[in-house]
C-alpha cells in the first residue's frame, strides 16, 4: 500500500490548541506542505502573531519567532534584510494584521519587502472572546456589536487584499477560502505561488485565507463553513488580485 | 481497497471530515479520548475509496490515507 495522504513533517507532533473545527489547523497544514514541497525548510523563518495563532511557533517544524501585536511584518523585514537568502513568512489574523498592524502591513507591502504574508480572515477577534474586528461584516453580531455591526457607527469592513494590491510594491496578492476540499486545494496552490514569488525575488506576497470561528460565531463547525461561504465570500471575493510577472 | 488510520488522541471530533466523505463512511465514536472528545471512526473500511478528502479537510491532520 502506498501513502495517499499523511501529515507533513513540517508540522510538529504537538496537538493544536485551536477549538474543534477551527480552520487555522487547515491553513497551518497548507503552509507547512508548501514549504516542504519547495524544499526550503532549512532556510525558512516564520513569524507568529498575537491572536489565536500566537502559539504557531510550536507547530511549524522550521525556525520561528514571535512578534508583538501587529508587528510581524516589521520583524519579517529584519529577518529578510539581514540575510536575503532566508525565506520569511508571517502568519497573522485579521485583528493583528488589519487593525493594530495596519500600518506595518501597508508599509511592508509598499516597500516591496520580499516576504510572504499568510493573512487569516475570520471577521472577528477570536482569542480575546469574539469582539468586532476591522473585517467584521455589516450586520454581523459580535460581543461588541450585539445588535449587528452598524456601518453608520463603526464604518465598513476593510478589504485588505484589494487595498494592498493597489500598492506598487506588492507582487502577488490572492484571496482564497478553506470551506471545502476544492477551495482548500486552490488555497494550497496560491500559498505555494506566494512562496515561489518570494523565492524568485519578485517582492511582497500575501495570501488572504477566509477562515471560520465556530466558537465566537456561535455555530457548529459545519454551520460555520456554510456561513462563511454564504456571507463572507460575497463581501470578500476570491481570486488572484495581483500577480507581477 | 484503501486504509484509513486515525490518530484518535489528537482528534477533536469536529466532524468536518464526515461532511466531506463522498460515501458517508465517517462517524463520531461513542468512546471518549483522553482530551474529552469523541474521535472520528470509519464505519466500513472496505468501502473506503482512498480519495483523502477527509484528510485534506481535517484541521488537526489526524488522518493518514493509504491505498
ipTM of the modeled complex: 0.96
| Chain B neighbors of A24, CB-CB under 8 A | 59
Q: How does DSSP assign A43-101, residue by residue?
A: GEEEEE-SSGGGGGGGTBSSEEEE-STT-HHHHHHHHHHH-TTSEEEEEEEHIIIIIIT
Instruction: Round to whole Å and give the CA distance between A63 and A110.
Output: 26
- Position A198 scores a pLDDT of 98
Provide the residue range defining the domain that includes B20.
3-66
Helix axes of A102-110 and A72-82: crossing angle, nearest 10 degrees:
30
Beta strands A204-210 and A116-121: pairing type? Answer: parallel
- Position A141 scores a pLDDT of 97
- Position A237 scores a pLDDT of 98
Contact B66 A21 (CB under 8 A): no
CATH number assigned to the domain covering A24-243: 3.40.50.970
| Chain B neighbors of A224, CB-CB under 8 A | none
- Position A245 scores a pLDDT of 84
Alpha-carbon dihedral of residues B27, A52, A79, A174, nearest 10 degrees? Answer: 60
Q: What is the CATH number of the domain that holds B10?
A: 3.30.70.20
Q: How far is A15 from chain B (nearest CA, A)?
A: 6
Instruction: Round to whole Å and give the CA distance between A59 and A153.
Output: 39
- Averaged pLDDT, A43-65: 97
Alpha-carbon dihedral of residues A31, A37, A39, A40, nearest 10 degrees? Answer: -20
Q: Closest partner residue to B56 among A16, A24, A181, by Cβ?
A: A181
The C-alpha cell 497551518 sits at A28
| Chain A neighbors of B14, CB-CB under 8 A | 20-21, 214, 221
Mutation for testing the A interface, residue in B12, B61, B66 having most A CBs under 10 Å = B61
Instruction: Round to whole Å and give the CA distance between A78 and A82.
Output: 6
Sheet holding A3-5, edge to edge: A3-5, B63-66, B3-6
Mean pLDDT score of chain A: 97
Taking only the tens place, the pLDDT of each residue in A78-107 is 999 999 999 999 999 999 999 999 999 999
Instruction: Round to whole Å and give the CA distance between A189 and A176.
Output: 10
Q: Is the per-residue pLDDT at A241 higher than 90?
A: yes
Q: Is the per-residue pLDDT at A113 higher than 90?
A: yes
Taking only the tens place, the pLDDT of each residue in A182-234 is 999 999 999 999 999 999 999 999 999 999 999 999 999 999 999 999 999 99
Angle of CA points A67, A28, B45, to nearest 5°: 160
| Chain B neighbors of A220, CB-CB under 8 A | 15
CA distances from A113 to A76, A106, A117, A201, A203 (A): 9, 11, 11, 10, 6
Q: Residue A92 half-sphere exposure, CB side, CA atoms within 13 Å? A: 31
The C-alpha cell 508571517 sits at A90
Contact B12 A7 (CB under 8 A): no
Q: Collapsing DSSP states into helix, strand and coil, what is residue B4?
A: strand
Q: How many domains would you assign to chain B?
A: 1
Contact A15, B10 (CB under 8 A): yes
Amino acid at each position: 500500500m502506498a501513502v495517499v495522504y499523511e501529515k507533513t513533517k513540517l508540522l510538529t507532533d504537538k496537538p493544536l490548541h485551536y477549538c474543534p473545527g477551527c480552520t487555522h489547523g487547515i491553513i497551518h497544514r497548507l503552509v507547512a506542505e508548501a514549504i516542504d514541497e519547495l524544499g526550503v525548510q532549512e532556510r525558512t523563518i516564520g513569524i507568529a502573531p498575537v491572536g489565536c495563532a500566537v502559539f504557531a511557533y510550536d507547530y511549524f517544524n522550521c525556525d520561528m519567532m514571535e512578534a508583538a501585536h501587529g508587528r510581524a511584518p516589521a520583524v519579517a523585514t529584519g529577518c529578510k534584510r539581514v540575510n536575503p537568502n532566508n525565506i520569511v513568512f508571517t502568519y497573522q489574523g485579521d485583528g493583528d494584521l488589519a487593525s493594530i498592524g495596519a500600518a506595518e502591513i501597508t508599509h511592508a507591502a509598499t516597500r516591496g519587502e520580499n516576504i510572504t504574508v499568510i493573512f487569516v480572515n475570520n471577521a472577528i477577534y477570536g482569542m480575546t472572546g469574539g469582539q468586532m474586528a476591522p473585517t467584521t461584516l455589516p450586520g454581523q453580531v459580535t460581543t461588541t456589536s450585539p445588535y449587528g455591526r452598524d456601518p453608520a457607527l463603526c464604518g465598513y469592513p476593510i478589504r485588505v487584499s484589494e487595498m494592498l494590491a493597489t500598492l506598487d510594491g506588492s507582487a502577488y496578492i490572492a484571496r482564497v477560502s478553506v470551506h471545502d476540499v476544492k477551495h482548500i486545494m486552490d488555497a494550497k496552490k496560491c500559498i505555494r505561488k506566494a512562496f515561489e514569488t518570494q523565492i524568485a525575488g519578485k517582492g511582497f506576497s500575501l495570501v488572504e485565507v477566509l477562515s471560520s470561528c465556530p466558537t465566537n460565531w456561535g455555530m457548529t463547525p459545519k454551520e460555520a463553513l456554510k456561513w462563511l461561504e454564504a456571507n463572507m465570500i460575497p463581501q470578500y471575493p476570491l481570486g488572484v488580485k495581483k500577480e507581477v510577472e | 481497497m484503501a486504509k484509513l488510520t486515525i490518530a484518535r488522541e489528537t482528534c477533536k471530533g469536529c466532524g468536518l471530515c464526515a461532511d466531506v466523505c463522498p460515501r458517508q463512511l465517517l462517524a463520531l465514536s461513542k468512546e471518549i479520548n483522553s482530551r474529552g472528545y469523541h474521535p472520528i471512526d470509519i464505519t466500513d473500511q472496505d468501502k473506503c475509496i482512498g480519495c483523502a478528502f477527509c484528510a485534506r479537510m481535517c484541521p488537526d491532520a489526524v488522518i493518514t490515507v493509504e491505498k
